[in-house]
Chains A and B, each alone.
Chain A
Amino acid sequence: MTERSDADLVGAYRAGDESAATELVRRHANPLGRYLCGSGALAADLDDLVQEAFFRAFSKLETWRGEGSFRGWLYRIGGNLLKDQVRRRRGVVAVPFEDHDATDGSDPAGDVRANEMEERLVDALGRLPRLQREVFVMRVQLGLEYSEICDALGTTPGAARVHYHHAVKRLKESVQ
C-alpha cells in the first residue's frame, strides 16, 4: 500500500480524520526534533517544542494555503517557537553536545578524536549566524532540498545556497 502524501493527510484531517494527524506526527516528529536540536534547542525542551509546533500547525491549518510542503511549513513554525524561547531566555543559544552512538570503546583513541571533533562542530554550529545555521542544519542533518528550506525559512533557493556555502566555509575554519 502506497504511503499517503502529506497533502492527502492534511486534507483528511481537515475532513475530520484524526488518525491523519497522528500519522503526520509519526512521520515528522523526530526529524523536527533533530532540526530543533541542531538549531540550538536543549534536549529537555524538545518534547514540548515539537508538541507545540504540531498543535499550532493543526490549529492554524486554514492559514496554510498549500504553497510549498507541509514539512517546510511545520519547520517554520518550530523554528519560530525556538526563536521565541531563545529570546525569552535572553538569547542564550545552547547547542547540546551529545554522546555519539559511534563510540563503542573498541578504539578509545579514535573515540576521543571523534568526540573532540563533535564537540568542536557543535560549538562552531552554535556560533554561526542564525540563518546560516538553520540552512546548514536543514540541508545536512535533515537532507532537505533547497526548495523545502525556502518554505521553512522564508528565503529563496539562491539565498539558501549562499547561506549554506558561507556556513561550510566558517565551519571548516572553526573545526579544522
Chain B
Amino acid sequence: MNECTALSDRMIEVAHGRSRWTAAESAHLERCADCGAEWQLVRATAALGGSIRLDERAIAESVVARLRAVPPVSLASRRRRRVAPAIGLAAAVLLAVAVWRVVPRSPAAESTNFATELDGLDADELAIVLEAYPEPLGAVMPDGVVGMSDLDPEELEAVLDSFEG
C-alpha cells in the first residue's frame, strides 16, 4: 500500500475526529496536491448534513405505535406464507413435467436439471414439492404387476412387438 492510499484510508477517521494526523502525514498532505485536494473534499463532505437534527424520540414513538397496530401474524399464517411459494413452484414443476413428456427433446435437453430452483427451498418446502412429483416409472408397481425391468430379453422383445402391432 503506498503512502497516498494509506493516507486516503486514514482521512475518514481524522475527519470524524477519531484520530489526528502525524507530523509525517501532515507533511505529505502539504506536498502532495492530489492528497491535499482529496482531504479538502473529505473534510467538506464529512461536515455536510451536520445540521440535521431529527427528533429521535418522536420517530421512535411513531414507529412503535405503528408496529403495535400491526396484527400479530399467527404461526399458522406464517407457515402458509412460507409454504405458498413452494406450492406454486410444485404446480409449475408438474406443468413442466407434463410438457416435458409431450414435447420430444434432444439428449442434451433431457439432461437439463430444471429442478435447480429447488436448491433454495428448506426441508418443509422441499417435502411439499416432492410429494407433488410423480414417481419415476417402474419405481413402485401395484402388487402383482411386473415392471419392464423384471422382464428377460425374450419377454421384453415380445412386449415391444405387441406395441408395434
Contact status B44-A37, CB under 8 Å: no
* Interface residues in chain B, defined as those with a beta carbon under 8 Å from any beta carbon in chain A: 8, 11-13, 15-16, 18, 34, 37-38, 41-42, 44-57, 59-60, 62-64, 66-67, 70
- Residues from chain B with a CB closer than 8 A to the CB of A101 are 50-51
Known: A25-B59, A55-B67. A34 touches B52 (CB 8 A): yes
Sorting the interface of chain A by its residue count into under 10, 10 to 19, 20 to 34 or 35 or more gives 35 or more
Cα separation A25 to B12 with both chains bound (whole Å):
24
Complex contact A38–B48 (CB within 8 A): yes
Residue ID in chain B nearest A47 by CB atoms: B54
Choose, from A2-10, A136-144, A152-160, the stretch at the interface: A136-144
Query: Would A172 and B47 be within 8 Å (CB), given that A43-B52, A50-B54, A143-B16 are in contact?
Result: no
Instruction: Using known A-B contacts A21-B67, A30-B52, determine if residue A172 contacts B60 with beta carbons closer than 8 Å.
Output: no
Question: Which residue of B12, B37, B52, B70 has the most chain A CB atoms within 10 A of its CB atom?
Answer: B52
* Bound complex: CA A101 to CA B53 (Å): 13
B63 touches A141 (CB 8 A): no
Measured CB to CB, the closest approach of chain A to B103, in angstroms, equals: 38
- The CA of A102 and the CA of B51, in the complex, are separated in Å by 10
Residues of chain B within 8 A (CB-CB) of A43 are 52
CB < 8 Å: which of A26, A29, A98, A168 contacts B41?
A168
Q: With A59-B67, A121-B41, A140-B12 known to touch, is A54 a contact of B52 (CB < 8 Å)?
A: no
By the criterion CB–CB under 8 Å, are A21 and B64 in contact?
A: yes
Within 8 A of B (CB), among A118-158: 118, 121-122, 125, 136-137, 139-141, 143
Quick one: closest B residue to A173, CB to CB? B37
Q: Is the CB of B37 within 8 A of A176?
A: yes
A141 to chain B, nearest CB (A): 6
For window 77-98 of A, CB contacts with B under 8 Å fall at 98
**Docked complex Cα distance between A13 and B119 (Å):** 32
- Closest Cβ of chain B to A169, distance in Å, is 9
C-alpha spacing A46/B62, complex, angstroms: 14
User: Nearest chain A CB to B95's CB is how many angstroms away?
Assistant: 29
Distance in angstroms between the alpha carbons of A38 and B46 in the assembled complex = 10
A171 — which chain B residues lie within 8 A by C-beta? 41
Chain B residues whose CB sits within 8 angstroms of the CB of A47 once the complex forms:
54-55, 59
Partner of B45, one of A26, A50, A51, A141: A141
Task: Give 27 pairs: A residue, B residue, CB < 8 Å, sorted on A.
Answer: A21-B60, A25-B56, A25-B59, A25-B60, A26-B60, A29-B54, A29-B59, A34-B50, A34-B52, A37-B52, A43-B52, A46-B52, A50-B54, A51-B62, A54-B59, A59-B70, A118-B48, A121-B48, A122-B48, A125-B45, A136-B45, A140-B11, A140-B15, A141-B45, A141-B48, A172-B37, A175-B41
**Separation in Å of the A164 CB from the closest CB of chain B?**
9
Residues of B within 8 A of A118 (CB): 44, 48
- B49 near A22: Cβ-Cβ < 8 Å: no
* Interface residues as binary, A31-46 with B (CB distance below 8 Å gives 1, 0 otherwise): 0011001100001001
| Interfacial chain A residues near B52, Cβ < 8 Å | 30, 33-34, 37, 43, 46
| Complex Cα gap A101–B51 (Å) | 7
What is the minimal beta-carbon distance from A63 to any residue of chain B, in angstroms?
A: 12
Chain A's closest residue to B66 (CB) is A55
